[in-house]
Chains A and B, each alone.
Chain A
Amino acid sequence: MGPGCAAADTRQAWAIAPIFDVMSHDHDHHHRHDHDHSELSETELRVRALETILTEKGYVEPAALDAIIQAYETKIGPHNGARVVAKAWTDPAFRKALLEDGSKAIGTLGHVSRVGDHLVVVENTPARHNMVVCTLCSCYPWEMLGLPPVWYKAAPYRSRAVKDPRGVLADFDVNLPKDIEIRVWDSTAETRFLVLPMRPAGTEGWSEEQLAELVTRDSMIGTGFPKSPGAPS
């Protein structure tokens, strides 16, 4: 497993950062907080210990475990992220704060748990589309978006997104006019990105709750758009 952390090797699933987010902290974390090394919460240490032992003893097949986990990858759900986006659409002061300091602005909401130290929110505009990738590993703001989709961790997405973002987006049926700039944001364990998509037309007067229903996970990664009002969910 080189620095590119080849996600295809399921034996090494541990080494792929987002499954256990090295920057996240459970409420029982006890580690000192410095930035020279990685941190795992006490709970994460115990889970990793157990999983390593069970794998070594043959009680657990990493591939089978991955399959179970992937079946639920969307089940933490993008609810937190969707709420943040919907609030930004309806509250100009919050939107401004969010774009200035994502982690801080989200922290003020209270109902969202920790989002790591540096969550940067990048805004889509009529002239610019943002998409998020991690070429090094697969860092992912799971507190906002739930467990990462399988394709996000896959080597083809990671390598192609930088070289050919338009082509990757086309694979997701996101076809953008040539004059729209595409900006690709490369996540690290220290800085993750959340895309603030554009508010769909025809949603004037909608409440935050209604708007949040339109915000998809992919629209916050940049590989999709929010749902249109009235479209089947």
Chain B
Amino acid sequence: MSGTAAAAATAAIPSIPRDDDGPVFRAPWEAHAFAMALSLHERGVFTWPEWAASLADEIKRAQAAGDPDTGETYYLHWLATLEGLVARKGVASTETLHRYRDAWDHAADRTPHGKPIELKPEDFAG
């Protein structure tokens, strides 16, 4: 299952941080970003060469803007690539992404510490 898909991804994208067993992540959100790309690829939203080219563009852009290129920001570029491809492929517009981002922000704001944060329709109101 996912092991095979992940192996295909790491073979196609040599820059993915990894150890002997596969990709490594510095934080849970990085694993989420990685997994989303895998799912979208399996759905045929993009090919790995297409992904690699978009990611390379993203990294170039970030470096031109002063990204330190230490590897710590790798998944930030990965996330930006996801957002860009999702918008370009007509899956979700930039506006939609912003709307959901703001809704999650609202959800976090109204959720007391220690409680799970859940997105509710009212979070889209403001």
Interface residues of A (CB under 8 A from B): 1, 3, 5, 12, 14-24, 26, 28, 35-40, 43-54, 57, 59-61, 64-65, 67-69, 71-72, 75-77, 113, 136-137, 139, 142-143, 147, 188-190
Minimum CB–CB distance from A208 to chain B (whole Å) comes to 21
Other 5 A-B pairs with CB < 8 A, given A12-B116, A36-B113: A23-B113, A47-B36, A51-B36, A68-B39, A190-B113
12 contacts between A and B (CB under 8 A): A14-B117, A20-B28, A23-B113, A35-B113, A38-B115, A45-B101, A45-B105, A49-B98, A57-B92, A59-B91, A75-B21, A76-B25
A37 CA to B112 CA in the complex, in Å? 4
- Contact indicator A47/B96 (Cβ below 8 Å): no
Tell me, rounded to whole Å, the shortest Cβ–Cβ distance linking B67 to chain A. Answer: 12
A residues in contact with B79, CB < 8 Å = 43, 46-47, 50
| B43 surroundings in chain A (CB, below 8 A) | 59
Which chain A residues lie closer than 8 Å to B63 at the CB level? none
The reply to whether A75 and B116 contact each other, CB–CB distance below 8 Å, is no
Given contacts A37-B111, A75-B22, A47 and B97 within 8 Å (CB-CB): no
- Tell whether, in the assembled complex, residue B1 and residue A37 are in contact, meaning their CB atoms are under 8 Å apart: no
A72 to chain B, nearest CB (A): 5
Number of A-B contacts (CB under 8 A): 181
Q: Name the interface residues of B1-39: CB closer than 8 Å to any CB of A.
A: 1-3, 5-6, 19, 21-29, 31-36, 38-39
Q: Is the beta-carbon distance between B112 and A38 smaller than 8 angstroms?
A: yes
| Contact A52:B119 (CB < 8 A) given known A37-B108, A59-B91, A71-B6 | yes
Of B32, B40, B97, which is in contact with the most chain A CB atoms at under 10 Å from its CB? Answer: B32
Closest A residue to B31 by CB, please name it: A69
Q: What 8 A-B pairs are tightest by C-beta distance, nearest first?
A: A49-B100, A15-B116, A68-B35, A189-B114, A49-B101, A68-B2, A38-B111, A38-B108
Residues of A within 8 A of B97 (CB): 46, 49-50, 53
Which chain B residues lie closer than 8 Å to A24 at the CB level? 27
Nearest CB of chain A from residue B119's CB, rounded to whole Å: 6
What total of chain B residues lie within 8 Å of the partner, measured CB to CB? 53
* Interface SS majority for chain B: helix
Given A43-B76, A52-B104, A60-B36, decide whether A18 and B28 contact each other with a Cβ distance below 8 A: yes
B45 at the interface (CB under 8 A from A): yes
Which residues of chain A are near B45, meaning CB under 8 Å? 59
Confirm or deny: B122 has a beta carbon within 8 angstroms of a beta carbon on chain A. Answer: no
Closest Cβ of chain A: how far from B28's Cβ, in Å?
Answer: 5
Contact B36 A14 (CB under 8 A): no
The answer to whether B27 and A142 have CB atoms under 8 Å apart is yes
A77 to B31, CA, bound (A): 13
Given contacts A19-B28, A39-B108, contact A61 B113 (CB under 8 A): no
